[in-house]
Chains A and B, each alone.
Chain A
């Protein structure tokens, strides 16, 4: 798959612009007319594809580098594994579903709306079973939220390891969800006063059961059917998943089949063995649900080198916080010696990806570029070193440390740590 774009690009350029050799790159200072302009191109004369060619489209072939990628050595089985969103190539804030990352513990299952059942049981007045048709009759809500894996950047706790923000920050996606509020479903069953926790599990073999305190369950947790305008993708939980704004992705249970109310946390495998964060004294934090303020410069980055030379340069990136809205993103080009606020482009929504831009003039010398997010609580994204001073290097999860890119004079970009 990786060599398809090159082949097709070459064919494209060879077929249409052969006469323009050397001119495309230097169009601004061309001494001779550009044949892409002076000669009638095929697409300006004959038909393109008809409207019945593509009932459901995929991106144009030249964008075939914008795909999910996995890193084989990270896990022992691809059925319980992770892949990465190509955030180095995306703009704005909405993640295209087709390249939004996946994390399964026993693979992406196929579950039809006909076969779908949702049970509510435990400390409720009336244990219930819903069909998918039932769920479509509850009042709907819309919410935009980021889903970040608790392990996003986890491989970087010990040092700079992977080359590209797709790999170091790409266990994330951000979608517009439509569904029903969990509190409305719980109201249908009637939570008993002794009910303090909600346990949610999926229909897949792994089940991915997690405990959520009732306060959060009654606040902004959604049972979602639609993402970015259409049904959830199979790999994202079709036909029903949980959306838990601001909280670690593991709790966004997919193929949701049961919601049970208990007086205590279940302390399931996914909140004891996993998603607990080992600290330097050998004890571990549990229930580290919220994802703290974080950011990354998506371009330039190791997969997005600067090839246009010195002059105007767009620095673009993403910031997000599970504790509310992003209020500011600072940029440094000198390894953190000086910082300048970037522009927030578009809206800074609570618990959602937020785009920032910083327009600068690059003089062609090397830079250490960094971004630093600030959220509405006043929390400032820490350096990796500041986090390690508190947590050590075996936390595994919740690495929101500042990312440093080393921009070389040739425009290549490296993932580094600096002292």
Chain B
């Protein structure tokens, strides 16, 4: 497939028709519900998108599995827990250092991030069961490292052969006495994507770890930063800013995190949710059990960072913090504005497409807006309807057969530890002033009318979209990167940041502007034709000098 010159303005409904044309009828019917034209900003009843449903076999999806969502995403970045993959070697190998969760263990701190631990199941383990081997592996890990905790992650065959990882974990925890051992039933076939793995990780961490440390934590304006994984140092930059504002971050879930951070999360007075998809379960459970309210924040984009800091200050309602936050913003912004001023003239008016996991397609829209770029199409691999349409639709979401077996925990207020952080009157006053609790508006309202929103984009649709709409930049992951670039379109990885970053916070925004400037203005895209391809007919003879 090659890129034709840009056509006359395509109508979004025609684009959708084009995308569906090649499919067998059943596939076309299904995909039609996962592709929508955004009208949410003007229409009274915004159209529903179908999301979080099973993947079409053979379609070349971008999605991964539950194990990846649980071990790879949520638990992987925690440095002082020994994470053992219970399964054949692949799952552990592929999730070994491939997500860029940066880690600062300090001089003597524990750090198991560079290690891959696996039971490396063999055929006899499949036939006779792998519980004995798992038990021995946990013992060996304990003897070698004496970690604070050992976590066990189940892979596809574990569920099928009936290994009880939870029973083995309980037994070993009791045996050790000084090492928390617990397991995750995150078999790859559960749910329909990484998303189920997030939920399973949330449940187990909340059940086995959160609240373990009863010692109160020192510090003013105590928050949890939920759903921030420190890719390329994002979390470091956010922590720098929070510290400068005098805000105490008790626990990050889970970039550069420790056992103790999880164990102390109940001491915070506010939870700030970055990645809604992966961690909203913990945010809700912290509120129900301990009385900690949560708000949605976004530290991607300089303006969004400033806005999020102001929200936090507003919540704590202390003039000293409000002033400090405003001072920090005033101090950081000039450098950001200088960068935008330099770069924007080279990026303004360009178009982008964003197809990333479960939150970045939304967050990065803000950064592109700052560059004067327009997002013409976006979507998630594994977002749910609330990530697209906002949490108000949650009561209407039907859990289908493929996701029904993902456990929902029943959480009740802790009899001795629940403490409402704000009185109902205080909450009401904050809400009246515009602070939304336990709420997220989703991606759709922030996209222009006529943008094409696509859930679970596949290889065929990606190529077709690029061919038809010819964006100036396409954002997705490693599997998409090189096919898009072969088409001559700059491609930015928004999972790994192409080894760059940080992109969060004020300094991260500047990094990102420079990176996008480099990408969309690189000379390389002008080299695709050789001189003899541009002028194939010989019309002159060579002049020897």
Indicate whether A and B interact: no
